[in-house]
Amino acid sequence: MAELHSLWSSHAASRICRALEDVDVFWAEDPINKMNDARALADLRRQTRTPICGSETLGGLVSFRDMLAADALDIVMLDLAWCGGLTVGRKIAALAESYAKPLAPHDCTGPVTLMAGLHLALLAPTAIFQEVVRAVLSTWYRDLVTDIPILRNGMVQAPTSPGLGTALLPEVRQRKDASIRESGKAAHFPWSAQGATARTHVGVIS
């Protein structure tokens, strides 16, 4: 796969994607700036045989519906932390299925998002990949949570624990570089069974 990181305008992206045809990449990801431009992406797809993947940068169900309705994508990439969580991600997965497009959850947003993406990918009939980052799987992801995905011969195993199958390690809260944000009471999350409990988000900024 070739990652283009939303750095290019349409003409340059078209030149790149046509050049990539010669090496038969599996996809070109996020080819244009910005990836919410369904019309420009559909135009790009008409100019190249390179499959277009997008986009972890999109948020909300309607963004993905508009992309698929415009024939703007070959592969649907989503990031659960940015698109609207599992609630929206499940619907995007169903949309991708209904448009007969493969789904590939993003990684780079941390180990909790990765585990959630893995669950979604196992659920979604058209999911083909769960992205992982080898460097962080072997380093700081392990420092934050109790469990990370188990890899065996390039295949990630389905988690067997309840829920996400992972949790923040208690010591993360004690780290000097931890940023702790308390948010939410029942009034803010009336639909949540946990709404009556204040929520704590712990993040690490490094």
Binding site for another protein (CB under 8 A): 1-5, 7-9, 11-12, 15-16, 19-20, 22-26, 29, 33, 104, 107-108, 118, 121-122, 127-136, 138-139, 151-158
Distance of alpha carbon 75 from alpha carbon 27, whole angstroms? 8
CB of 150 to another protein, least distance (A): 9
Return the half-sphere exposure (C-beta side, CA atoms, 13 A cut-off) of residue 95.
Answer: 22
Pick 187 or 205: Cβ nearer another protein: 205
Pick 137 or 172: Cβ nearer another protein: 137
CB of 186 to another protein, least distance (A): 36
Distance of alpha carbon 206 from alpha carbon 174, whole angstroms? 15
Distance of alpha carbon 94 from alpha carbon 61, whole angstroms? 10
Pick 52 or 104: Cβ nearer another protein: 104
Pick 8 or 82: Cβ nearer another protein: 8
SS3 190: coil
CB of 185 to another protein, least distance (A): 33
Pick 122 or 186: Cβ nearer another protein: 122
CB 27 within 8 A of CB 50: yes
CB of 153 to another protein, least distance (A): 4
CB of 149 to another protein, least distance (A): 8
The 3-state secondary structure of 98-114, one letter per residue: HCCCCEEECCCCCHHHH
Select from 114, 117, 122 the least CA-distant residue to 147.
114
